[in-house]
Amino acid sequence: MGRITDFFCSGRRSAEIVKSALIAVLVCTAALLLAKVGYYDKLITRQSFESEVTAAADYGDDMTRESAIPAAVIISFGEGERYAAAWDDTAVTSAFSRFAALLGEALGSAEAGEDITESDWRAALEEQGAVFDYCYPRRLDFLAQWLGTDAESDAGEHEARRVALIASEGGVELYFTDTDGAFRRCSTAVSVQALTTALSAFEPNGAQFAYECGQDALAPYTLMLPSKSEAQAVAAENPMSGYSAARLFTALGMSGNAASPYTEPDGVSVYVDGEKTLRISPDGAVTYRCSSGGGSGATAYEAMTSAMELVYLTLGETSGDANVVLAGFEYDEEADEYTVRFDYVIDRCTVALADYDCAATVVVSSGVITRASLLLRSYSLTGESVELLPMERAAVAASVSGGGEMRLVYGDNGVSVTCGWAVA
C-alpha cells in the first residue's frame, strides 16, 4: 500500500484491525468513485475521499507553439535521480524553453534510425538526458517544423508519444517511443556539452517513473511526482451569450448573408449557404458540413494547418485561460481524408468533456474542410487552489480499477469543472 500505511498507528492488534478496515474503506470508496464518474471514466479527486517565461524557440502562431510544448519534461541526472515539470504551465514552459532549440536541432539532424528494445530504452532513461512527454502522439515532421526545422531522415515518418535527448559517448542521441509500441534511436548533431549545460539548470525533485517505484498496477512510464499536491481551481462558462455567428461564417468561408437561416425547436440555429450547412446549439456545440470537397488535394501539414487555423479562429477566440492543442491526426488513404482532433488544455492538463470525445474534430477532404464538430467553452482560473489526493493513494484506487496510465486532468460536466487524477 506504499505510504498509505504511514497515515495510521501500528503496534497493537486492535490498531492493525482499524488500519486494515480503513484501507479497505479507501479502496472500496475508490472503486465506487471510478464506477460512477460519467464524464471521465476514472477521475480520482481528493474531495471524493475527504468530503514569466519566454520560450527559446519561435514556435509560430499560438496553437503551433502550444502543440510544440510537451505535457511534461523529465530530466535524468543518471543513477535514478530525476527532475520533472508536469501539470504546471509555467514550470513546463520554463523547462522546455531550455531544450526547444536542441530538440529542433536533433530532429533536423537525425540520421536514419534503428529499432531498439525496451531494455535499451530503459537503459537510456538512466543516462543523462531529457524526456518530453507529449501526452498525445506527435508526428515528428510536424514537431520539427513547429521548432523551425525539417526532419530529413526517416525519423520524420514516425509518430511519437515520448521523445528523448540522451547523452552518450558518441554524442547526443534521439530516442522515441513509436505509436505502434516500438522504440527507436537516431544519432544527431547535438553536442553533449550543449545538452549537459541545459540539464545543469535543474535539480532532482523526487520524480520517478512507475516502474521504478513499485507501482506495478500503473503503466510503466506513468510519471510519479509526489510533490504535486494541489492544482489551480477552474470555472467554466458557456460563451454563446452574445456570441456572433459572423465569427464562424468568417472562419468557415461562408457568406455573411447565408440563405435560409432558421431555428429548430431545440434552439439550434441553422444557416445554409449553398453546399455549406452550419448548426449552432445554445450550449456551444457547433457542426459544419460541406457536401462537396472540390479541392486539389493537400499535404498532411497543409491539412493540419487548415484545421488548426479553423480551431484557432473559433475555439481559440472563446477558450479564455485554456489552450487548444492538437490531440490526434489520422489519414484515410482511400478517401483522401484527414481527421484532425483538438483538446482544451489547462495548466498542461487535458480537459475531459462530459459528452464529447474531444473539443474539436475537423475533417479535411481533397484539401477542403468538409466537416467540423466544435464545442465552444470558456475557462477561467479562479485564483484558488484544489487540494489533490496524494499520488500514492490515487495509485491504490487505480489498481482497483485495473490500472493504466495515471495523470492529472480537469473534468468539465457542462456545469462545473473538477480536477483530479485519472487513469487512461
pLDDT tens-digit map of 87-111: 999 999 999 999 999 999 999 999 9
pLDDT score of 58: 34
Q: Which residue has the cell 449553398?
A: 274
DSSP E strands: which ranges in 12-147? 43-44, 72-78, 81-86, 114-116, 128-139
The position carrying cell 497543409 is 302
Spatial distance between the Cα atoms of 58 and 3, rounded to a whole number of angstroms: 43
Predicted confidence at residue 295, as pLDDT, reads: 63
- Please give the DSSP secondary-structure letter assigned to residue 62: H
User: The pTM is what?
Assistant: 0.85
Averaged pLDDT of the chain: 85
In terms of residues, how long is the chain?
424
Q: Give dist(CA 276, CA 268) in Å, integer.
A: 16
Q: Rounded mean pLDDT of 346-362?
A: 96
The predicted model gives 355-359 an average pLDDT of 95
Using CB atoms within 10 A of its CB, is residue 163 exposed (0-12), middle (13-18) or buried (19+)?
buried
> How confident is residue 61, by pLDDT bands cut at 50, 70 and 90?
low
pLDDT at 293: 63
Residue 294's pLDDT band (cuts 50, 70, 90): low
Res. 31: pLDDT tops 70: no
Residue 35 has pLDDT above 50, yes or no: no
- For residue 241, the one-letter residue type is S
Residue 397 · residue 34 · CB < 8 Å: yes
For residues 403 and 374, the model is more confident at: 374
Residue 78 clears pLDDT 50, i.e. is over it? yes
**Ramachandran sector of residue 95 (left: φ over 0; alpha: ψ -120 to 50; beta: rest):** alpha
**CB under 8 Å to 387, separation ≥6 — which residues?**
46, 229, 230
Q: Which region among 255-264, 278-287, 374-383 has the lowest average model confidence (pLDDT)?
A: 255-264
Q: What is the DSSP code (8-state) at residue 320?
A: B
Separation between Cα atoms, residue 235 and residue 417, nearest integer Å = 6
Query: According to the model, what pLDDT value does residue 30 have?
Result: 40
Is the per-residue pLDDT at 180 higher than 50? Answer: yes
Average pLDDT over residues 217-239: 94
Give the pLDDT score at 374. Answer: 98
Quick: pLDDT tens for 142-160.
Answer: 999 999 999 988 888 899 9
Classify burial at 28, counting beta carbons within 10 Å of its beta carbon; exposed 0-12, middle 13-18, buried 19 or more: exposed
**Range scoring the smallest mean pLDDT among 44-48, 88-92, 193-197:** 44-48
Q: What is the pLDDT of residue 382?
A: 97
| Mean pLDDT on 104-125 | 95
pLDDT of 38 over the 60 cut: no
State the average pLDDT over residues 243-249: 87
Q: What percent of the chain has pLDDT over 90?
A: 68
Residues 74, 130: contact at Cβ < 8 Å? yes
Instruction: Give residue 178's pLDDT band: very low, low, confident or very high (50, 70, 90).
Output: confident
Instruction: Write down the residue that cell numbers 529542433 correspond to.
Output: 104
Contact 71, 135 (CB under 8 A): yes
**Which pLDDT band holds residue 419 (cuts at 50, 70, 90)?**
very high
Instruction: Quickly state the pLDDT bin for 34 (edges 50, 70, 90).
Output: very low
